[in-house]
């Protein structure tokens, strides 16, 4: 089996780290070695977060080199585009259409052009899956379940070296029991969302 | 033994427990903090002592005392923390230890979250102490156990120096939950523990001889290892720490894996001569790849020169390997390409097409952060006054960003107060205001306050007291009334301390009540003597309120944009008719209180 490199990216507070840990733990359960690392901001939310997850055998380092990632799981549109340089040509992108506008834009110090970003993704990524994960999370009755929605969609495209059922099981083993139902629902909504976003 | 996904810092903590650590002391600092966080969870179960000390100097001295008495001790900090602990460190090397003392100093090439990217391996060499440089989280755990053994064999502290990519990387690791400490031998009187000049004269030659002993032991260590490419070659790479993985991956990407032999070095100082000599003797050309300073490279060059070898050595001195910033495969690939004289195609990424403009997304203070309110109050109070805002290091350093722009200087922890002292003596007619956090106040800030009172520097010191060490992950400190293991402790009162230091103007203020906070701020700045304002309100990241706010109806809003433009709160976004307050609102109500038209109301 070939090694698999996954990038998970978004904005602090979106649940990126948890999603990354779910994939890592599921990979360990599937008998793979794992190396994962974040380019973390600091204690505060709102900064960009990129988590690298490497699964397989004989992994050399925790960082995925540019142009080597097999897939990119994006939680926020501009952060998805920001991390595209890590994706290998022909790699898969699963991204939420969520936008989080930083204060620099509010204050007129930078810009956020949603249409341009979408167009860029469509034009450069051949394997692109977009999902309105925020809407689905709300449908599952908790916006915080965004990460479970995205994990569901990621599982549905069947590119990970981890079966969808195993990913779902690992997710539920990690979230607290009282949140099982919400996350189950969110994962399943994400799983079934392909093609209907 | 179960396999678990462990962070490098957790792996180090487990390694220390496996080695039977008896005393653990540290001060938080990215990327080292999770080591003590993990130890503190294991400490009650195994009944060893763990503490967050007041600062790094204190932590190292606590660990030293324990090790004098024969206990195994670990001391944790980030790279700049070692500057604070440099005084005990330099002499501790002369005195040595009885019980194993592992000094864990985490370096932060990049830097990602530090004020500089100094290389602790130079510090090790300066202090004449052995240093280990782990390549992976798993190796960090092995090295921790080994470091205790080495420390006891040499009777010297041993430095373990992981970098961000080891500390914060996770790996599948098999851990045990064993804890088998040896009994503590107990403190025995000996002149060796007294740093008199006569003792220093005796101990210095011993310390110098220990370098050779250390070198000999490190030569036998399992952390230095050759990996042959396959083909007979006279080209080699010496790689250190995390760079080992980058080198192997770069060689594979460049199609050179079989053409180059690699010597992995895990023990940068003192350089293990034997494995390096036998490697470079076989080579015509060698490249040294290490992060930050050319610590190994310089020693390899010296070794080659001493042995009259004509091998050509590349690295940082000839600019083949970058000397600044963090390494990664992309950068090492360029170095490997330059060294091998082959064109390494910059890997084809998906973004060859021109990127559209991306929003700039710096970290900002959380929605509802009390620091925002404190700065707002002082900015308002200082309108029309000519003041300098001396800043410090903590979440509140982010007050530098627009629209607050409330940080004029920032040097190192505690320096807000002392730099304000100096600014005052340069311009006594101007008011200087120092802003620092509660943890920073205890760490080194208080010395500057005593200095201001004693030397009559009329400055204002604002302690941004959010009841935690937020920046580094919300650790308790002497003001919080809680120890690292969660036991209740005496909460040291900052305002009372300030009064005891002789400050005559001391006020404790709620920053989220702006009218009162602005008035107190103004009075503090006008007070004819040193003044202290303790802005007291818990960090919202740890103390969520159960409600939030919204603009009641667009008609109520007069469109002034004060809430948007003056606060820079990430939860307030401009909308088509009136600002929109997002679900991130933490309910601090600062915007409610500054809104001139009373347009914002509470939702639960
Ligand atoms: C000498 C030194 N030790 C540790 C650190 C890491 N560090 C950065 S800010 C900080 C403390 C911040 O706590 P506090 O002053 O209470 O401010 P807060 O982040 O809570 O606002 C620490 C420990 C450092 N930069 N320098
Ligand atoms: S973590 Fe706490 S102190 Fe830091 S920015 Fe957020 S609210 Fe402020």
Interval B60-107: pLDDT, tens: 999 999 999 999 999 999 999 999 999 999 999 999 999 999 999 999
Class of domain B225-353: alpha beta
Q: Is residue A59 part of a domain?
A: yes
- Residue B408's pLDDT is 98
A196 Cβ neighbours under 8 A, 6+ residues apart? none
C-alpha B286/C-alpha B279 separation (Å) is: 9
Chain B residues near residue A23 by CB distance under 8 angstroms: none
Token representation of residue B232: 């007979």
C-alpha B230/C-alpha B245 separation (Å) is: 18
In Å, how far is A67's CA from the nearest CA of chain B? 4
Contact between residue B105 and residue B163 where contact means Cβ atoms under 8 Å apart: no
Tell whether A24 is within 8 A of chain B (Cβ). yes
**Burial code of B466-482, b = ≥16 C-beta within 10 A, e = fewer?**
bbbbbbbebbbbbbbeb
Q: Inspect the interface and report whether the beta carbons of B168 and A46 lie closer than 8 Å.
A: no
DSSP string, B274-286: HHHHHHHHT-SEE
pLDDT band at B343 (very low <50, low <70, confident <90, very high): confident
- Residue B345's pLDDT is 63
CB-count burial class (<10 Å; 0-12, 13-18, 19+) for B595 = buried
- Residue B255's pLDDT is 93
Nearest-atom number in ligand 2 for the CA of B540 is 7
- What pLDDT, in 10s, does the model give residues B440-469? 999 999 999 999 999 999 999 999 999 999
Q: Where are the domains of chain B?
A: 3-219, 225-353, 370-536, 548-603
- Residue A124's pLDDT is 94
- Residue A42's pLDDT is 61
C-alpha B295/C-alpha B188 separation (Å) is: 37
- Residue B310's pLDDT is 95
- What pLDDT, in 10s, does the model give residues B261-316? 999 999 999 999 999 999 999 999 999 999 999 999 999 999 999 999 999 999 99
Q: Is residue A196 part of a domain?
A: no
State percent of chain B over pLDDT 90.
94
Q: Looking at domain B548-603, which of 3.40.1000.10, 3.30.70.20, 3.40.30.160, 3.40.50.920 is its CATH number?
A: 3.30.70.20
Nearest-atom number in ligand 1 for the CA of B464 is 21
Q: What residues make up the domain containing A81?
A: 4-191
Start-end of H helices in B478-598: 494-500, 514-526, 562-567, 590-594
C-alpha B252/C-alpha B329 separation (Å) is: 11
- Residue A197's pLDDT is 39
Number of domains in chain A: 1
Closest CA to B325 of B299, B362, B290: B290
pLDDT band at B141 (very low <50, low <70, confident <90, very high): very high
CATH number of the domain that residue A84 is part of: 3.40.920.10
- Mean pLDDT across B207-218: 98
Closest CA to A4 of A75, A59, A46: A59
Q: Is residue A197 part of a domain?
A: no
- Residue A196's pLDDT is 42
* CA B544 to ligand 2 centroid distance, Å: 11
Other CB atoms within 10 A of residue B212 CB: 11
Protein residue closest via CA to atom 1 of ligand 1: B81
- Mean pLDDT across B44-58: 98
pLDDT at B1 over 90: no
Q: Inspect the interface and report whether the beta carbons of A106 and B573 lie closer than 8 Å.
A: yes
Other CB atoms within 10 A of residue B350 CB: 23
Closest CA to B75 of B91, B93, B98, B57: B57
pLDDT at B527 over 90: yes
Q: In degrees rounded to 5, what are phi and psi of residue A53?
A: -125, 120
Fold classification of B3-219 is: Rossmann fold (3.40.50)
- Residue B350's pLDDT is 56
B358 Cβ neighbours under 8 A, 6+ residues apart? A78, A81, A82, A110, A117
Paired with B25 in beta bridges are B51, B75
- Mean pLDDT across B13-30: 98
Does the beta carbon of B541 sit less than 6 angstroms from any atom of ligand 2?
A: yes
Q: Report in angstroms the alpha-carbon separations of B4 from A31, B138, B173.
A: 12, 11, 5
Contact between residue B160 and residue B140 where contact means Cβ atoms under 8 Å apart: yes
Start-end of H helices in B382-445: 415-426, 438-440
- Residue B346's pLDDT is 56
Q: In degrees rounded to 5, what are phi and psi of residue B530?
A: -60, 140
Long-range CB contact pairs, B189-194, < 8 A, 24+: B192/B95, B192/B96, B193/B68, B193/B95
C-alpha B391/C-alpha B415 separation (Å) is: 8
Q: B3-219 and B548-603: same fold?
A: no
- Mean pLDDT across B495-508: 98
Other CB atoms within 10 A of residue B505 CB: 18
Domain B370-536, second-level architecture: 3-Layer(aba) Sandwich (3.40)
C-alpha B21/C-alpha B32 separation (Å) is: 17
In the three-class reduction of DSSP (H, G, I as helix; E, B as strand; rest coil), residue A79 is classed as helix
Q: How many CA atoms, within 13 angstroms, populate the side-chain half-sphere of residue B403? A: 19
Start-end of H helices in B282-321: 295-306
**Cα-based angle B467, B520, B435 (whole degrees, multiple of 5):** 50
- Residue B231's pLDDT is 86
Q: Is residue A27 part of a domain?
A: yes
Token representation of residue B527: 């007070």
Q: Report in angstroms the alpha-carbon separations of B564 from B103, B397, B406, B585.
A: 47, 20, 17, 13
Q: In degrees rounded to 5, what are phi and psi of residue B534?
A: -100, 110
Ligand 1: lining residues by beta carbon, under 6 Å: B 27-29, 56, 78, 80-81, 84, 393-396, 413, 437-440, 464, 466, 468-472
pLDDT at B348 over 80: no
Closest CA to B241 of B291, B287, B293: B291
Q: pLDDT truncated to tens, each residue of chain A (197 aa)?
A: 689 999 999 999 899 999 999 999 999 999 999 999 987 656 567 899 999 999 999 999 999 999 999 999 999 999 999 999 999 999 999 999 999 999 999 999 999 999 999 999 999 999 999 999 999 999 999 999 999 999 999 999 999 999 999 999 999 999 999 999 999 999 999 999 985 43
Q: Which of A65, A81, A142 to mutate to test the interface with B (most CBs of B within 10 A)?
A: A65
Contact between residue B438 and residue B392 where contact means Cβ atoms under 8 Å apart: no
DSSP string, B147-159: HHHHHHHHTS-EE
In Å, how far is B404's CA from the nearest CA of chain A? 12
C-alpha B112/C-alpha B109 separation (Å) is: 7
- Residue A27's pLDDT is 97
pTM of the full structure? 0.96
Q: Which helix (H) or strand (E) holds A80?
A: helix A77-82
Contact between residue B417 and residue B28 where contact means Cβ atoms under 8 Å apart: no
pLDDT at B547 over 70: yes
Does the beta carbon of A42 sit less than 6 angstroms from any atom of ligand 2?
A: no
In the three-class reduction of DSSP (H, G, I as helix; E, B as strand; rest coil), residue B436 is classed as strand
Maximum pairwise Cα distance, chain B? 85
C-alpha B316/C-alpha B519 separation (Å) is: 56
pLDDT at B349 over 60: no
């Amino acid at each position: 089996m070939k090694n698999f490199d996954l990038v998970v990216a978004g904005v602090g507070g979106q649940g990126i780290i948890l999603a990354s840990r779910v994939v890592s733990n599921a990979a360990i359960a599937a008998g793979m070695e794992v190396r994962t690392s974040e380019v973390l901001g600091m204690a505060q939310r709102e900064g960009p977060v990129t988590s690298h997850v490497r699964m397989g055998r004989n992994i050399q380092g925790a960082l995925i080199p540019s142009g080597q990632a097999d897939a990119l799981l994006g939680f926020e549109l501009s952060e998805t585009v920001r991390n595209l340089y890590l994706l290998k040509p022909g790699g898969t992108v699963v991204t939420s259409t969520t936008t989080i506008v930083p204060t620099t834009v509010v204050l007129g110090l930078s810009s956020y052009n949603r249409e341009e970003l979408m167009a860029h993704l469509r034009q450069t990524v051949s394997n692109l899956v977009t999902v309105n994960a925020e809407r689905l999370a709300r449908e599952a009755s908790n916006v915080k379940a965004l990460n479970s929605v995205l994990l569901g969609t990621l599982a549905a495209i069947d590119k990970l070296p981890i079966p969808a059922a195993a990913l779902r099981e690992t997710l539920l083993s990690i979230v607290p029991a009282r949140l099982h139902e919400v996350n189950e629902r969110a994962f399943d909504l994400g799983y079934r969302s392909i093609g209907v976003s | 033994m179960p396999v678990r996904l462990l962070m490098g810092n957790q792996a180090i903590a487990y390694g220390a427990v496996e080695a039977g650590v008896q005393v653990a002391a540290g001060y938080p600092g990215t990327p080292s903090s999770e080591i003590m966080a993990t130890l503190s969870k294991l400490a009650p179960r195994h009944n060893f002592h763990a503490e967050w000390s007041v600062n790094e100097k204190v932590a190292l001295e606590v660990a030293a005392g324990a090790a004098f008495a024969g206990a195994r001790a670990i001391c944790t900090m980030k790279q700049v923390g070692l500057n604070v602990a440099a005084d005990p460190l330099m002499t501790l090397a002369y005195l040595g230890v009885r019980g194993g003392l592992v000094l864990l100093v985490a370096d932060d090439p990049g830097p990602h979250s530090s004020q500089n990217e100094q290389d602790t391996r130079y510090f090790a060499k300066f202090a004449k102490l052995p240093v280990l440089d782990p390549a992976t989280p798993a190796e960090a755990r092995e090295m921790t156990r080994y470091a205790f053994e080495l420390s006891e064999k040499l009777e010297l502290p041993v430095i373990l120096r992981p970098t961000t990519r080891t500390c914060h990387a996770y790996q599948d690791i098999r851990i045990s939950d064993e804890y088998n400490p040896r009994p503590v031998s107990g403190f025995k009187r000996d002149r060796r523990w007294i740093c008199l000049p006569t003792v220093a004269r005796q101990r210095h030659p011993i310390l110098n001889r220990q370098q050779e002993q250390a070198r000999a032991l490190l030569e036998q260590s399992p952390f230095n290892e050759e990996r042959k490419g396959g083909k007979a070659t006279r080209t080699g790479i010496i790689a250190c720490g995390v760079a080992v993985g980058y080198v192997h991956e770069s060689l594979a990407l460049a199609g050179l894996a079989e053409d180059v032999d690699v010597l992995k070095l895990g023990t940068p100082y003192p350089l293990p001569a034997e494995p390096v000599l036998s490697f470079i003797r076989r080579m015509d050309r060698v490249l040294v790849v290490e992060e930050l300073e050319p610590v190994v490279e310089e020693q390899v060059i010296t070794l080659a020169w001493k042995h009259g070898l004509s091998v050509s050595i590349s690295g940082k001195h000839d600019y083949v390997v970058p000397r600044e910033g963090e390494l990664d495969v992309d950068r090492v690939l360029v170095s490997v390409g330059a060294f091998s004289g082959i064109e390494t195609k910059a890997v084809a990424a998906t973004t060859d097409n021109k990127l559209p403009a991306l929003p700039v997304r710096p970290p900002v203070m959380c929605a509802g952060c009390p620091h925002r309110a404190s700065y707002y109050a002082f900015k308002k109070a200082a309108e029309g006054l000519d003041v300098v805002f001396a800043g410090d290091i903590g979440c509140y350093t982010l007050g530098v960003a627009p629209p607050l722009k409330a940080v004029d200087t920032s040097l190192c922890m505690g320096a807000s107060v002392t730099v304000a002292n100096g600014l005052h003596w340069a311009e006594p007619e101007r008011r200087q205001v120092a802003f620092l956090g509660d943890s920073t106040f205890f760490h080194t800030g208080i010395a500057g306050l005593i200095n201001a009172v004693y030397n009559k520097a009329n400055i204002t010191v604002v302690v941004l007291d959010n009841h935690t060490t937020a920046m580094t992950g919300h650790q308790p400190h002497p003001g919080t009334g809680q120890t690292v293991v969660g036991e209740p402790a005496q909460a040291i009162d900052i305002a009372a301390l300030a009064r005891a230091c002789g400050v005559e103007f001391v006020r404790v203020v709620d920053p989220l009540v702006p009218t009162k906070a602005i008035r107190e701020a103004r009075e503090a700045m006008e007070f004819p003597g040193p003044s202290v304002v303790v802005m007291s309100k818990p960090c919202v990241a740890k103390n969520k309120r159960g409600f939030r706010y919204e603009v009641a109806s667009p008609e109520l809003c007069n469109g002034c944009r004060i809430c948007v433009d003056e606060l820079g709160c990430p939860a307030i976004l401009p909308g088509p008719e009136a600002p929109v307050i997002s679900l991130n609102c933490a309910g601090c109500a600062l915007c409610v209180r500054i809104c001139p038209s009373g347009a914002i109301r509470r939702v639960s």
